Amino acid sequence: MLWIWLILALLPFLLLKSAFIITILSLVGIYALATLGLNLIMGYSGQISIGHAAFMSIGAYTSTLLVMHYNIPVVFGIILGGITAFIFGILIGFPALRLSGFYLAIATMGFVVAIEQLFSYFEHITGGHAGIRNIPFPFLWNSDVEKYLLVFAFLFVAYVVADRLINSKTGRAWMAVRENEIAASVMGVNIAWYKVLAFAIGSMFAGIAGALYAHVIGYIAPSDFGIAKSLDLLAISVIGGMASIDGPFYGALIYVAMPFLFSRSNFSLSIIFGALLIFVVLFMPLGISFYIKIFRMNYFNALIAYLKKSRRPFGMFVQTPVGRIHYIKHGSGNIPVVLVHGNFASSRFFEPLIKKIPEDQFTVYALDLPNFGFSDELPGDVSIEKYVDALESFVKTLGINNFILLGHSLGGAVAMGYAVRHPKNLAKLVLVDPAPIFGMPRYDESAYKIIDVYRKNPDMIKRALMMNAPNYDDEKFFDRITSDALRMAKKAFIGNAKSLADYNYIDKAVLLEVPVVVIYGDKDVILDYESMKKTAEAFPKGKLIVLKDIGHSPVIEAPEEVIKHLTDIVT
Amino acid sequence: MINQILLGLSTGAMYSLVAIGLVMMYKVSGVMNFAYGNMGMFMTYVIWWLSSSIGFNIFVSIALGIIFAALMGILVERYGLRPIRHLSHGSMLIVTFGILMILEGLAVQLWGTEYKSFPELITGAPYVIKGDFGIMVIRRQDILVFSILAVVSIAIALFTKFTKFGIAVRAVSENEEIASYMGINVGSVLAFSWAFGTAMAALVGVIAAPKVFVSPTMLTFYQIQGFTAAVLGGFETFTGAVFGGLLLGVIEKIVGNYISEGFKASISLVIIVIVLVFFPNGLFGRRVRRRA
């Protein structure tokens, strides 16, 4: 998502002529920042606050007074404003902890009214009801652009902080507290600490946003941050999506843009915004960001998937009875090895293994199974037996005999299928985290439908592949594999997963006289030790090797180990 | 001093009335109605409009306004809140915020922002009582407020103790699900609680209007003080609400007199915080043990 931030950073330079729009965008950023804080409080830790504008007020006045009276640089003023709001957040968050329910809402409502009243009361410091005018903003070149960039910088940092917090222990603790406080405390979550933390950090964001508001607009009054503004912030949060970190951006955009949409009709905005709030709560409780996310996953990412699809074959083609098969060949040794890849992969998946393999000893053939990579699509339904047919014709066409067959994951099932058909043609069978010999369990139909989401979301494929290879960090490699995976036949996305439940070689395996090695990484998140043990025991000469701290993909995580087991019996 | 307390009690009685309405809605439906003040505000506008623009007698307008208020409460509960009862209390709360915003916008849209004056319901010279304690001045308006509070409190007490529907209200506020097993129509009890609460809001609006004038934000402060009063009283009992309101009125008056008027809201915040920290069940609440 970095490119979106890049566009946002460059945006003001494209709009140099229209200072007005830049200011509007700064305002969107300010409200997004404040609401991001509110989302931490409401959406993630489940505390309803309607005093959020009070913290904006505190930040705004702190920063303004420091900058105007003590000549502190604006940036430090803003940071100090945030810190002051943080402290007040702790002070307000603590008493509200004592009781669950609506008490925090009441306390925060009292707080926002009290703050407004107090700031009006201390006239000699705050300027009273009239507020403070002409708040300075020392600029170097273009005040609007610089203001925008200042807002942008703070927003970016806050976004990253929020993102990191949410996807960490803290965020999980918040969500646990939100869902069920008792269950969370039983799991060892310190409820008080996490609730106050969320409240304080959320308040700090509001404080920073308020300080930015003061310097961008140049004028503040206590009534700018009253209960009405608090409710607006709450509405922004709910409309955008409470438990999301991009929701505030959409909500703030709507909030700031709406006056311009309705400027001609002279219609009260409060009615529209209130009605929108109720509509969202009743009919789309997850907020706009959820629908935008769904749209992205279904349509926008499909475009990216189309663009990312790999287009240049990197190996050779061979014409077989089941169609054209794409493969790579490496080495000139006299022991032939055939490598069969798994689901969401291609012959390229074996690159790290091929690099390490002794060239003078082996000749390696790695193929793209049909439906995968650059090989042709197979007609009809997907099944493991059809893949076995394809492997059979591939081997026959190239005239490979007495070879070592290595299969990984889904390829493991294909390799087993080949082995029970042509036991005589094999020197050895190596199964690396293979699909179990009796097949995978069959899942509910709806579970398979989810897999189709991958077809349109390259990022998800990449993350899934990386999760299955926790010890291999070359992102470029995974990008290439993902591009190949996107070439998979449309039907194969669901078809492959279903086909894995449709075979069982356990009866035929008994007759296999070839040595079989099953390699299993004990950090595998797909397969379990028991089924691997059963797979190894199904073969008369089966042997199970467990690799410590290796995930589902030993061929790329620990190629040396795999190569060692290719050779140990042959030599 | 005694007159200060009396004045405080008079304002406090208003807070008690606000708190009674809030507590009724909260006890039965489990929602804290943050739109309460604005519902009352809107209905006060309607009453003002009925009497000044349409030309109804003021008391007829008030009666009509209170009936409309009850209808509005029923509509809001039925179509705004009941569809999401199963979701979470948080979302119901947010709906009340939405209603708050809509009503405020609607009032501005229809009647503008300038303050409208509202006639006093009772006029006349205050009663003056002289005695050992000095001079005591009781305004007629105060007597009106006190008598309304007394009537409402006694009516609620009798209603919830001796009528079948009142007992049903208590049953639903104890446990909605079991009450429904006992053959109680939970829906109608919910509707009643909102009708009652909103009618109370309109009543408060009418009583307050001569003093604060009719304006879009006329009841905001009363609502906050009503919440504070309810918190003082523990948010569960009507007795708590009544005495919480009276107590708050006196405290506020004394603070306003000896320190400054500008601290009124801060005082209620401080009270809320202190009560929440030291008396989690309110000053008049009883400890309720519940399975979570």
B112 interfacial to chain A (CB closer than 8 Å): no
From the centroid of its chain, how far is CA B58? 21
- Two tokens, residue A515: 């040595």
Q: Which residue among A46, A106, A235 places its CB closest to the CB of B227?
A: A106
B46-52 long-range Cβ contacts below 8 angstroms, 24+ apart: B47/B202, B47/B205, B47/B206, B48/B116, B48/B118, B48/B209, B48/B214, B49/B111, B51/B119, B52/B116
pLDDT tens by residue, A376-427: 998 888 999 999 999 999 999 999 989 999 999 999 999 999 999 988 889 8
Place of tokens 């749209």: A295
Q: Chain A contact for B110, CB < 8 A?
A: no
- For residue B5, the distance in angstroms to the closest alpha carbon of chain A comes to 24
| Residue B256 identity | G
Closest chain B residue by Cα to residue A272: B102
Closest to A244 (Cα-Cα) out of A167, A347, A333: A167
A269 vs B105: CB contact, 8 Å cut-off? yes
Residue A103: its chain B contacts at CB < 8 A? 231, 272, 276
Q: What percentage of chain A reaches a pLDDT higher than 90?
A: 49
Query: Distance, in angstroms, between A240 CA and closest chain B CA?
Result: 14
User: Is the pTM higher than 0.90?
Assistant: no
Q: What span, in angstroms and rounded, lies between the C-alpha atoms of A79 and A85?
A: 10
The answer to which of A6-15, A477-486, B164-173 has the lowest mean pLDDT is A6-15
**Contact call for residues A97 and A103 (beta carbons, < 8 A):** no
A513 pLDDT band, cuts 50/70/90, is: confident
Distance CA A152, CA A73 (A): 18
Contact assignment for B262 to A114 by CB distance below 8 Å: no
CB neighbours of A244 closer than 8 A, spacing ≥ 6?
A39, A43, A287, A289, A290, A293
Q: Tell me if B228 sits within 8 A of B22, measured CB to CB.
A: no
Measure the CA–CA gap between B290 and B127, rounded to whole angstroms: 49
Local confidence band at A240 (pLDDT 50, 70, 90 cut-offs): very high
- Is A121 in contact with B34 (Cβ distance < 8 A)? no
Are residues A95 and B264, on separate chains, in Cβ contact within 8 Å?
A: no
- Tokens 């304002």 correspond to B11
Give A210 to chain B, closest Cα distance, Å: 21
B89 vs A114: CB contact, 8 Å cut-off?
no
Alpha-carbon dihedral sign for residues A95, A97, A99, A100? positive
Q: What's the pLDDT tens digit per position in A426-447?
A: 989 999 999 999 998 888 888 8
Which residue among A107, A235, A273 places its CB closest to the CB of B272? A107
CA A369/CA A386 separation, integer angstroms: 10
d(CA B192, CA B275): 30
Which chain B residues have a beta carbon less than 8 Å from that of A231?
97, 100-101
pLDDT in tens, chain B (292 residues): 788 888 889 989 999 999 999 999 988 888 888 899 999 999 999 999 999 888 888 899 999 999 999 999 999 999 988 888 877 777 888 899 899 999 999 998 888 888 888 888 887 788 888 877 778 888 888 888 999 999 999 999 999 999 999 999 999 988 888 999 989 999 999 999 999 999 999 999 999 998 888 988 888 888 888 988 888 887 778 888 899 999 989 888 888 878 777 677 778 778 877 887 777 677 776 655 555 4
- Which residue from B minimizes the CA distance to A94? B277
User: Are A281 and B94 a contacting pair at CB < 8 A?
Assistant: yes
For A443, which DSSP code?
P
Chain B contact for A259, CB < 8 A? no
* Cα–Cα distance, A377 to A368 (Å, whole number): 11
pLDDT score recorded for residue A571 = 39
Interface test with B, best of A113, A195, A238, A265 (most B CBs within 10 A): A113
Residues ≥6 apart with Cβ < 8 Å to A444? none
- CA B26 – CA B231 distance, rounded (Å): 12
Decide if B262 and A120 are in contact by the 8 Å CB cutoff. Answer: yes
Contacts of A275 in chain B (CB under 8 A): 98, 102
- Distance of alpha carbon A442 from alpha carbon A431, whole angstroms: 22
Q: What is the 3-state secondary structure (H, E, C) of A311-368?
A: CCCCCEEEEECCEEEEEEEECCCCEEEEEECCCCCCHHHHHHHHHHCCCCCEEEEEEC
Q: How far apart are CA B149 and CA B11, in angstroms?
A: 11
The Cα of B197 is separated from the nearest Cα of chain A by a number of Å equal to: 18
What 3-state class would DSSP assign to A432? Answer: strand
Which residue do the tokens 């002051």 mark?
A84
Q: Is the ipTM of this complex over 0.90?
A: no
Is A107:B276 a contact under the CB 8 Å cutoff? yes
Name the residue in chain A with its Cα closest to that of B109: A268
Work out the angle between the directed axes of helices B186-212 and B140-162 (0-180°, nearest 10): 170
B91/A121 CB distance under 8 A: no
Candidates B97, B106, B231, B252: best to mutate against A (most CBs of A within 10 A) is: B97
Q: What is the pLDDT of residues A24-79, one digit of tens each?
A: 899 999 999 999 999 999 999 888 888 899 999 999 999 999 998 898 888 999 99
What b/e readout covers B202-230, taking b as 16+ CB neighbours within 10 angstroms? bbbbbbbbbebebbbbbbbbbbbbbbbbb
What's the Cα-to-Cα distance from B78 to each of A272, B29, B188, rounded to whole Å?
21, 11, 10
Q: Do the beta carbons of residue B42 and residue B218 sit within 8 Å? A: no
Chain B nearest-CA distance from A114, in A, is 5
* Rounded Cα–Cα distance for residues A334 and A325 (Å): 23
CB atoms within 10 A of CB A102: 20
Beta carbons of B83 and A282 less than 8 Å apart: yes
Strand A542-547 and strand A403-408: the pairing is unpaired
> Which residues of chain A have a CB within 8 Å of the CB of B100?
231, 274
- Chain centroid to CA A503: how far? 34
A1-21 average pLDDT score: 80
